[in-house]
Structure 1
């Protein structure tokens, strides 16, 4: 999985299919620096780019932090270094989505600039962000997507045409097929049955506190139930242990398929573990600090008796951005009941 790269007040990353995402960061200045802040830190700017020729960057902007939410209804335009770009926008909810033409105009104007702002109809700033480091982040995207020196370069357009003679086609992305949910209720273990599993709590030996949350059970398929067992490891990264229970009530530690960068040779530590019934995914959110303005999000689906990673996003450094960047993803397709085979569940009469 790709790492994130920090350039000035921007951070950028690309996924396993060369789709890239750069986002602005609230500014930091070292102690004693004579350089003041460029933006006011209340605007987040996200720029995403696909690796395919003829695709355009996508820009999204949002009010964040201490932004005046009442001013969101007054958003009327975008300015770079004080120059109104003439892009009509509205943002009553504090979120500004731009079409391909407007997005490209911003990318072009931001190459040699220091500041971007949302403005009202009088040209006054509503929220602003620093562009320091954006051009370097754009150069990184160019290199990852074979744009460097081409007319479609985001950092420094050249003369060469950007086509598939330069940019290899996007690698095929495997589709992970997930079985539909079973109508059966999950297998529930008694407190006596849970006692041996609670003994695996890695923090119990260091504390007299017991886990504050109840265990939770979710049906995975016709034969298996997921148990998410809380531990006494608390704080802003509560550790919860996943187990898989068969129909007879026997439980084992959940297993995970290896993925790039992790052969899963050791038991994974998955903080703040939860199950999304709607998406049929096991989700882990590891916070880098309590503010959750940095950390990692991992999403797994249940495939052939193990959990498989299908999405990973992160944000580093810890500088007040919540625009997590995806660096690994697989396509997932959940089968409908009509697509499953005709095998009956144990106990079904077939009538």
Structure 2
């Protein structure tokens, strides 16, 4: 889940870094250069992950702490253990069912991930295993080194060189955001306005007389503005919405400072927060997405 606060930004607009994929890994950095890479289910199916996932986070700045979290096989009992190319990796701790590494141990493990081929996670009590392909892990780590200004330096995980840690840019400050306190009454959304929004968005084409469109969800934004979440297609698990802001009977598309695909969107009027999350299919293992720091703001 990520949260989109409808807010006034008092600092520079946050600009998340690029999202990339390398082999069987996805990697991204946020607006303060905090980076995360996450293992994926290999497309060719040669590796049976059995629900196993690995996430590596590197903080920005010269110190740049590394933390690694590993989730073991699905429905497995007992603490997980990790091996890379048959060599057991020690030094982790089990927290909330996940195997976690930090400090120097995590940095050494990152090097092992870059140089290895397959990581295997075993639930000690049951012997159940899941494998993680390391194809692309080295490239993902090199991408993090570049995004954080570590390339050719002593703090790099892969692209190491002689540059001192002092050459790494310091962590950027998080944007300061003042949340809007919603007040007033939501506007009444007329059938005629819904028709116009459906035509402009194309959402009306997703529904028929036998499969009617759900009633739009509305929320008070304050200042005479109303948020409208227009249903725009659905599947077995997910409902997609298009967001509009209505003032004085006129609607405009809601603007976000980053790409916002609204899936299973929900408006919390008490906090002025719009949340959205996608549900994976029951027969597909969904990878955890790289985390983002800061707040993505939408203009009311």
Are the counterparts in 1 of residues 76 and 123 from structure 2 also a CA contact under 8 Å? no
TM-score for the superposition, normalised by structure 2: 0.74
Q: Which of these residues, 188, 195, 200, is aligned with residue 199 of structure 1?
A: 195
C-alpha distance in 2 between matches for 1:117 and 1:269:
34
Aligned to 1:322: 287
Q: Does the 8 Å contact 1:79/1:85 carry over to 2?
A: yes
**SS where residue 145 of structure 2 aligns?**
helix
1:155 aligns to what SS in structure 2? coil
Which residue in the other structure is 2:228 paired with? 227
Are residues 1:87 and 2:91 paired?
A: yes
1:285 CA drift (Å): 5.2
Aligned to 1:187: 186
Alpha-carbon deviation of 1:53? Answer: 0.7
CA distance, structure 2, for counterparts of residue 326 and residue 121 of structure 1: 29
1:181 deviates by 4.0
CA change 1:282–1:122 in 2 (3 A) is: closer
Instruction: Indicate the residue corresponding to 2:82 in structure 1.
Output: 78
For the structure 1 residues 198 and 179, does the alpha-carbon distance in structure 2 shift closer, same or farther, using more than 3 Å as the test?
closer
> Which structure has the larger Rg?
1
Give the whole-Å Cα distance in 2 for the aligned partners of 1:327 and 1:21. Answer: 9
The residue aligned with 1:60 is 69
Q: Deviations over 1:34-72 (max 9, x none)?
A: xx53x5353111111122111211111113xxx34132x
- Other-structure match for 1:274: 266
Look up the match of 1:42.
51
Aligned to 1:346: none
2:105 is equivalent to residue 102 of structure 1: yes
Q: Which runs of 5+ in 2 are unaligned?
A: 1-15
- Cα gap change, 1:19/1:229 in structure 2, threshold over 3 Å: closer, same or farther? same
Asked whether the 8 Å contact 1:49–1:57 carries over to 2, the reply is: yes
Question: How far apart, in 2, do the equivalents of 1:86 and 1:269 lie?
Answer: 40
Distance 1:167 1:20 in 2: 14
1:81 touches 1:113 (CA, 8 Å); kept in 2?
Answer: yes
- How far does residue 128 in structure 1 lie from its aligned partner after superposition? 2.5
Mapped partners of 2:124, 2:226: distance in 1 = 57
Contact between 1:243 and 1:252, CA under 8 Å: does it hold in 2?
no
Match of 2:75 in 1: 69
Structure-to-structure mapping, 1:1-351, within 5 angstroms: 1-29=16-44, 36-37=46-47, 40-63=49-72, 67-71=73-77, 73-75=78-80, 77-90=81-94, 94-121=97-124, 126-163=129-166, 166-182=167-183, 184=184, 186-187=185-186, 189=188, 194-200=190-196, 201=198, 202-204=202-204, 208-209=208-209, 211-221=212-222, 223-230=224-231, 233-235=233-235, 238-244=239-245, 250-257=248-255, 259=257, 270=262, 272-277=264-269, 279-284=271-276, 291=281, 320-326=285-291, 329-330=294-295
- TM-score norm. by structure 1 comes to 0.65
Report the RMSD for the aligned CA atoms in angstroms: 3.6
Could you say which structure has the greater relative contact order, defined with CA pairs below 8 angstroms and 6 or more residues apart?
Answer: 2
Task: Please give the alpha-carbon distance, in whole angstroms, between the structure 1 residues aligned to 2:129 and 2:205.
Answer: 53
- Matched length: 276
